[in-house]
Structure 1
Amino acid sequence: MRQPLGGTPLMVRSGGTSSRCAADQHWTLDLRRHQQFRYIHATQEVEFGTGLSMAALLRQLQAFDRAIPIGLSGLPGSGFVLTGGMGPLSRTQGLAIDHITKVEGVWGSGAPFTLNAEQAQLEPSNAAAWRGLLGAAPFLAVVTKLRLRTHAVSELRLRRGWINPSELPAVIALAEQWPESCSLQWTWGEMLEIYAVDCGPPSTPSPSLQALDPFLKACSGGGVQQVRDQLDLPAFGQYGMQTTTNAAPSGATRSHSEVLGRLGPVLTDQAEALIEQLERHMRQRPHPACRISAQQLGGATARIDPDRTAFVHRDAQWKPWITASWTPGDVEGRWRSLAWMERVNDDLRASCPGVHLAQLHDHLRGHQQELSEAFGSWLPELRHLKSNLDPEAKLPPL
């Protein structure tokens, strides 16, 4: 970090699932050798190197019957944690960043650091840096090691299947009445798949998944499945295909993509009009892999003070995201898909005004507006923090 770079920003690769792990005329810092793992029995925390994928981390934690909440895939690395970390268990257990207790790495200036939650509370000078690391770390530092609180592994219940797009508003309204132990995810590609998870106690399962009977009763295999833990959840968006969470479908066509995530409140009153808009966009999608998806938030994610982390949208109940895809090497196809993503984004903005920067888009038009919608009134303070910690702007710009 102290050496001059031929091109900035520096690209950083952990899990390798982001479009900004590499770029022409830029250096990539590959963290895959940071594979350390240590479970701390006394505090039930895990300390690990940021080269581990979420699946690899959970597999090692299984030996201790512990886990952290991950997303809908085990493929991402620590970028998933550092940019928020949302998944099917978020409503019960909170965001991944809410579990962080210690961070090690190197600031953009080249200065190494170790910072923990206690230091942030006791020393005001560290409070801003700590907040920045919890949700905006890619702009400030290269993180090499994390320590997180863990939870006991718990059995899950899953229900998934295809529905008609016209039924989605009713399913959303139903999910917005569910207890925190249940969450709804949906993804709309060739077909519209719903994916509902209940992480409540097995002894008292919620009737919420059974309430999906009117929508899934005609769907083959649409019953409730018992799942041992997060790693055993089937792949999201691939219902009816024989595949696992960490494997692509056999014969899948390779594509490149960009993903843009938004955040918003309950949708009940707006859902029908919004889904009609999205259905028009889906009819016009320029590539078969373009899709629109969403996952449910709220519950534990909303009980954290917005000023505590860089994730300021604590009132968000939904995170919809848009996947723009194209065939590798198809320059015109790329621009068509990105233009489609922008149009969908414009229609989502009214009902979902916030942005979740799970992927960085400093190379795309609209980056500045995304930053404003992601960090809100805290953005000037974040920019000031970056000027101190990354004065030569070697990391992604703000």
Structure 2
Amino acid sequence: MAALTLGAGLPATAVPSRSDWNALAGGLDGRLVRPGDATYDTARRLFNPAFDAVRPAGVAYCANPSDVAECVGFARRMNVPLAVRSGGHSYAGWSTGTGLVVDVSRMNRVSHASGRATVGAGAKLVDVYDRLGADGVGIPAGSCPTVGVSGLALGGGIGVVSRKYGLTCDVMESVQIVTADGRLLTCDADHNPDLYWASRGGGGGNLGVAVSFGFRTHPTREVTVFFLHWPWAKAAKAVRAWQAWAPSAPDELWSTMHLSRDGGMDAQIVGLYLGGRSGCERLLDRLTDRIGAVSASSVRQTSYRQAMMIMAGCSTLSVSQCHQAGSLPGQTTDGRLSRDTFAAKSHMAYRPLSEAGAKTLVAEVARPGNHTVLLDALGGAVSRVRPDATAFPHRAALFSVQYYAHRAGAAAWARAAHARMRPHFGDHAYVNYIDAELDGWRAAYYGANAGRLARIKAARDPGRLFRLPQGI
């Protein structure tokens, strides 16, 4: 998930005084954390420890849209770089900076009425699933539990039930945004439709600070989750079989393929079926017939809420434990999730891999290191939306590709694997896996929608208060 970011890492041309910062703190209903405060070293951290050297001048935990407007006004008057953080998962580290970090985690209320969810921009996905699940409804969203809903939705939102219900941005019926002039605007099909269009796939941090969303919900039911493993010798065959099966399966079935060298070599297909076990097994039989016998498998029916916990890697934890530990907003005192040092890149696959392409991908994963390639199936409802209907352009993609590496040599492996797969996948990429090294990023993220996004940017933020290294 790419977090909201405004001007992260750009040097300020004016230095606010202590009294300026004190005035900002006094004008907030929330809390401003400054260097020297007891919680500063925790407050400044992102999910990825690779960015721990960045030291913001202040971190504002905004309690409401007025706090956000106060921070935006401060940044504008003082010419201070402004980074906005929802979950802190920005792959490029652009949800921090040397100036003011606006953290929206306190604005995390989730409510539901008459088929519509109202979700604060700081809500974490595990809490969204849990609170909506209590009412027997859900929204299509991702699997990482501590990702903030804001960054996910603004960049598109590939997720666990997207093939049935669409991307997160496809069920976004409205969004409230604080713009560069400090106004709080409601954006939907009838009000500020340009910002509404751009907020569905244009990526966070370009046009303002989202503070709240209205999402169309779907009713939930018992589902079936599955985990299938094959010997590494069958990995290339499994890739080719999966890519022919997954994007064209019934909408009710979503799956992801993981090729991993992280604690061992593994070719795994994981997924969720919006239906019973017997129907799921019939569909899985079509896949296993193409690949061959599995080395291990698990197929079981469970509640929708528990399925989301399983996909989050939190099957043995409570919702409260499925957070990072701490006392700051977005954390819980009994949280058990850890941070992760990683490097990542992406492709969007518009065509199937050839036999040679599949072998190349498998060979890249087999290289020494701790890394995984994740292929998430698209098609279904995602593909039935026009590429220009929202800012997310990749409606014809068959699946997304993420190169995710840990520890020593992570960046070098991701860079090499991405380069070697470029002849097979082309130059399409997912803005929520934002990549600071990516050449041609504007076309890769936005395709033919880039020009319209640039025109909206020029009209809504002519002074470019909201700046990103890769900003529209």
> Which residue does 2:395 correspond to in 1?
314
Counterpart amino acid of 1:257? F
- Distance in 1 of aligned mates of 2:299 and 2:280: 11
- Distance in 1 of aligned mates of 2:318 and 2:111: 27
> Which residue does 1:46 correspond to in 2?
117
Equivalent in 258, 273, 277 of residue 360 of structure 2: 277
> Which runs of structure 2 are paired with 1:279-294 in the superposition (5 Å)?
279-285=362-368, 287-288=369-370, 290-294=371-375
Aligned length: 372
> Which residue does 1:92 correspond to in 2?
164
> Which residue does 2:135 correspond to in 1?
64
Whether the 8 Å CA contact 1:83–1:137 is kept in 2: the answer is yes
Instruction: Identify the range of structure 1 (228-237 vs 86-95) with the bigger mean alpha-carbon deviation.
Output: 228-237
- Whether 1:34 aligns to 2:34 is no
Whether the 8 Å CA contact 2:110–2:117 is kept in 1: the answer is yes
Deviations 1:127-178 (A, max 9, x none): 3322111111411111000000000012221221322213322233333452
Equivalent in 182, 192, 198 of residue 110 of structure 1: 182
TM score, norm. by length of structure 2: 0.71
- Distance in 1 of aligned mates of 2:202 and 2:373: 25
Instruction: Identify the range of structure 1 (376-385 vs 202-211) with the bigger mean alpha-carbon deviation.
Output: 202-211
The 1:181/1:9 distance shift into structure 2, 3 A limit, reads farther
> Which residue does 1:378 correspond to in 2?
449
What is the Cα deviation at residue 204 of structure 1?
5.3
> Which residue does 1:154 correspond to in 2?
221
Whether the 8 Å CA contact 1:67–1:153 is kept in 2: the answer is yes
> Which residue does 1:329 correspond to in 2?
none
The 1:206/1:8 distance shift into structure 2, 3 A limit, reads farther
Counterpart amino acid of 2:225? L
- Whether 1:4 aligns to 2:4 is no
- Whether 1:128 aligns to 2:185 is no
- Whether 1:167 aligns to 2:221 is no
- Whether 1:301 aligns to 2:382 is yes
Whether the 8 Å CA contact 1:161–1:216 is kept in 2: the answer is no
> Which residue does 1:227 correspond to in 2?
302
Whether the 8 Å CA contact 1:74–1:231 is kept in 2: the answer is no
Deviations 1:199-228 (A, max 9, x none): 1467855611233445585534x1321121
The 1:305/1:339 distance shift into structure 2, 3 A limit, reads same
Unaligned regions of 5+ residues in structure 1, if any?
120-125, 327-332
- Distance in 2 of aligned mates of 1:301 and 1:133: 17
User: SS in structure 1 opposite 2:122?
Assistant: coil
Whether the 8 Å CA contact 2:255–2:376 is kept in 1: the answer is yes
RMSD over aligned CA atoms reads 3.1
- Distance in 2 of aligned mates of 1:39 and 1:209: 35
The 1:343/1:235 distance shift into structure 2, 3 A limit, reads farther
The 1:73/1:252 distance shift into structure 2, 3 A limit, reads closer
Whether the 8 Å CA contact 1:198–1:209 is kept in 2: the answer is no
Calculate percent identity across the aligned residue pairs.
21
Counterpart amino acid of 1:197? L
User: SS in structure 2 opposite 1:224?
Assistant: strand
Counterpart amino acid of 1:357? V
User: SS in structure 1 opposite 2:221?
Assistant: coil
Whether the 8 Å CA contact 2:139–2:217 is kept in 1: the answer is yes
Whether the 8 Å CA contact 2:111–2:131 is kept in 1: the answer is no
